[in-house]
Amino acid sequence: MNIDNIVNKLDDTFAEAFPMYVSRVLVTADSKKWALIAGKCATGFATSIILSPCEAGIEKLVRPEKTPDKRIGVLLQFWHNDLTQLKLQLILRLSQVVLTCPTTRVFDGLPNSIRKFTIGSSIARFGDGFERRETVFGRDMWIIPVMDGEFMIENKIGVTKGVAGGNIIILGRDRKGTLEAAWRAASAIRKTGLRVILPFPGGVCRAGSKVGSRVYKKVKATTNHPYCPTLKDKIPDTKLSKDVECVYEIVINGLTENDVKLAMGIGAIVAASHDSVIKVTCGNYGGKLGPYKLMLKEAVNEALRNYSQIIERLAIS
């Protein structure tokens, strides 16, 4: 992996990120299979707050020795800019998905957070009076009888402010190679164990958006036309050179600014190492959307300092 070649592919720009509320939930199960099924289903239809009811995704798997009940677990993140709506989404998704998924239990993934939602007692009503509240695994849990035994959920789930909207945009020569580069970049971000999620399908978005519309005044977001290859010869404000035929975006939400910044850097390095990639840039709105300005080249330098020993392996895995 030629670092100089990678750096030459980086645009000198920044990703514009913004604060949103986030809750982090640990779901455990008897097996990795059922933990992941619960996680994938609970975080469905949650790509963008533009029209989805929340933003959500799987952060990472957790080894049994690191969970309260010593079973394998999966950490999930749920995001919203409104506290009431975030609480509602937690109640809906944990009750309709995780409660119904075989063998699962739910624990607070932010046990040290000051702000908490009371979630368990609402879901416990499903127990129809047979539910009970006990201290189990050192946590304040509601226990609900279900058809394969008992479902357990912690009474309170933490909420904090995180950083949403970090991103990299990958410009490539062809769709096959650019998609492979984007997939490698998204996979690399997930493998590092950073406290981030990539809310779009597979971590990769092909329909990047801009704020507002040129023609539909009531539509709050529309296609990011300067990055659409089929329009590059038809519009004066294209961001694409003639050899760019495909563009993918990776959107990153994380618990801290540093988590998001490192994830951006790792993703950019891995994407830029692919021969099909011409340039890696970021989406921003001139600093008008959010207070976080995550400089791409700074993110790459920080990633190299922190993850230099594994980045090359991630770029080809």
DSSP state of 226: G
CATH 3.30.70.520 fits 3-16+162-316, yes or no: yes
CB 220 within 8 A of CB 50: yes
The CATH architecture assigned to 21-160 reads 2-Layer Sandwich (3.30)
| 175-191 vs 296-316: helix crossing angle, rounded to 10 | 100
Q: Tokens 């990639």 sit at which residue?
A: 277
Mean pLDDT taken over the chain: 95
**Low-confidence residues in the chain, pLDDT < 50:** none
Domain with CATH 3.30.70.520 in the chain: 3-16+162-316, 21-160
According to the model, what pLDDT value does residue 100 have? Answer: 98
CB 253 within 8 A of CB 164: yes
According to the model, what pLDDT value does residue 317 have? Answer: 60
CA distance 183 to 40: 18
